[in-house]
Amino acid sequence: MSKEDPRVRTWSPVCEAVAALLGPYAEVVLHDAVTDRVLAIWNPMTQRGPGDESLLGELGDLAGRDVHGPYEKLLADGRRLSSVSAVLRDADGDAAAVLCVNLDRSTLDQAAALLSRFGAPATERPEPLFEQDWTERVHHVVGTFVRTRGRPVERLGREDRLAVLAELDEAGVFSMRRAVPVVADVLKVSRSTVYALLAEIRTSRSDS
């Protein structure tokens, strides 16, 4: 880089800071907006260097807006880049330099692919593995109910609790010893509340 150029001296600290923050995944390039040449480059991803052509025609009319992007670019090896360019103006408002930051998306793409695999749709639950674990059934029933309603257990209303307790009762959960304390803990209510609602459910069934 030509540190003799006043534009490089002015903007070098900014470019170095961005390169230090995003390196080694980002290339920072300072272009001459007048001669369309590279002034300086940090963390280069290609063989180009100071004095090489910038080919800034891709940014269009520099007299318009000063920030362009993010936009996508491709390297010859197939890597995708997310790029953003900023027009740096002199005291008269004329474009003096263009600062470009090219972020290599390879690592991000790999991370996104990994996360998407973790988020793959679940297959049907193998019930034989869970039929003896009634506490697991409690969590499964309540968790499914909460997801369907779209609100946490603390915000379930009285009718919601009646519905989920009825489902648990039909599943035979309350035939198990110490079921009421476990259900009360999961629903974040008192044991007396569970007993009262359960009695109401069973009374309603016997009357119907």
Q: How would residue 46 be classed by pLDDT, with cut points 50, 70 and 90?
A: confident
Residues 13-39 have a mean pLDDT of: 91
pLDDT digits (tens, 9 = 90+) for 94-153: 888 999 999 998 888 888 877 777 766 656 655 554 445 678 788 888 988 888 888 888
Q: pTM (2 decimals)?
A: 0.54
Residue 179: pLDDT over 80? yes
Which of the pair, 127 or 84, is modelled with greater confidence?
A: 84
Sorted by where each begins, the domain ranges of the chain are 6-108, 123-207
Helix (H) or strand (E) holding 70: strand 67-74
pLDDT value at residue 80: 84
Q: How would residue 58 be classed by pLDDT, with cut points 50, 70 and 90?
A: low
Helix (H) or strand (E) holding 6: helix 6-22
pLDDT value at residue 130: 45
> Average model confidence (pLDDT) for the chain?
84
> Are 165 and 183 contacting, i.e. CB atoms less than 8 angstroms apart?
yes
Superfamily grouping for domain 6-108: PAS domain (3.30.450.20)
Residue whose C-alpha is closest to residue 21's, from 107, 106, 103, 110: 103
pLDDT value at residue 71: 86
pLDDT value at residue 126: 53
